[in-house]
């Protein structure tokens, strides 16, 4: 068995006092680890991921609501999506070196690229769930403000929150007088971790493909790639 994560080092990395270490052991355990260590007593992180996702969305939603009192719901939704998507959360996880604390199978440990980003993002959400249960909403909010909301200014300045699908539609309707359409090209993976490959079409012409953990996410990725081609 791998050594249990060093909770003292984790406490330093995340800046949050750790009380119930069992919560953090669970938060840092990928499901695959149990295939190799079935007697690991702390379970895996999917339930905490579910909880942490809800806490993260609540905190970010409230912060955006208060910071942008004159902006419409649509803009707030786009800003929130930019702050809670798996790629951004994976980047935050890397910033706090969360990868060094994770427990996973040897096979999963070799994953790179998108697969590793998803694992890191899910662990971030699980960690937020653990902080919430262990220390309450106040500490969870402090953690989210320190590591997630801190990037809000950069996201607003560079416009990375803007909806790629809307931008593509406006551009192509103006240039080609057609509306982009999206089709599911493939889907795979278990029900709880489905991956969708989406194509974006101008008429009957396939322009670009994107992948995501939901159809919407795949459509946005396809739209981004199409924009790179047509700008």
Q: For the segment 149-179, what is each residue's pLDDT rounded down to a tens digit?
A: 999 999 998 877 877 888 888 889 888 899 9
Structure tokens at 107: 């096979």
Q: Say which residue, 61 or 176, is predicted with more confidence.
A: 61
Question: What is the average per-residue pLDDT within 69-97?
Answer: 91
All structural domains of the chain, each given as residue ranges with its CATH number in brackets, are 7-158 (1.10.1520.10), 164-230 (3.30.160.20)
Candidate ranges 76-90, 109-123, 124-138, 204-218; pick with highest mean pLDDT: 124-138
- Of residues 173 and 111, more confidence is placed in 173
CA distance 11 to 65: 30
Q: Which of 63, 108, 117, 125 is catalytic?
A: 125
The answer for 198, left when phi > 0, alpha when psi is -120 to 50, beta otherwise, is beta
Helix, strand or coil, per DSSP, at residue 197? strand
Q: Which of 53, 63, 217, 219 is catalytic?
A: 53
Q: Is 71 a catalytic residue?
A: no
Greatest mean pLDDT range, 135-144, 159-168, 216-225: 135-144
pLDDT in tens, 179-205: 999 999 999 987 767 899 999 999 999
53 among known catalytic residues = yes
In this structure, are strands 205-212 and 181-188 parallel, antiparallel, or unpaired?
unpaired
């Amino acid at each position: 068995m791998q050594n249990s994560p060093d909770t003292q080092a984790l406490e330093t990395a995340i800046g949050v006092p750790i009380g119930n270490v069992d919560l953090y052991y669970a938060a840092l355990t990928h499901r695959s680890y149990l295939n190799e260590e079935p007697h690991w007593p702390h379970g895996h992180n999917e339930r905490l991921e579910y909880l942490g996702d809800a806490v993260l969305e609540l905190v970010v939603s409230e912060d955006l609501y208060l910071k942008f009192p004159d902006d419409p719901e649509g803009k707030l939704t786009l800003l929130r999506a930019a702050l809670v998507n798996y790629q951004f959360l994976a980047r935050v996880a890397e910033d706090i070196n969360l990868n060094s604390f994770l427990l996973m199978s040897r096979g999963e440990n070799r994953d790179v690229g998108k697969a590793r980003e998803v694992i890191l993002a899910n662990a971030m959400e699980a960690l937020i769930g653990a902080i919430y249960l262990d220390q309450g909403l106040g500490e969870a909010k402090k953690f989210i403000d320190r590591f997630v909301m801190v990037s809000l200014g950069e996201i607003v300045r560079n416009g990375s929150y803007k909806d790629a699908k809307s931008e593509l539609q406006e551009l192509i309707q103006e240039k080609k007088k057609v509306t982009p359409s999206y089709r599911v090209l493939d889907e795979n993976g278990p029900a709880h971790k489905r991956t969708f490959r989406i194509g974006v079409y101008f008429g009957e012409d396939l322009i670009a493909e994107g992948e995501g953990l939901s159809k919407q996410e795949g459509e946005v990725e396809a739209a981004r790639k199409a924009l790179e081609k047509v700008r």
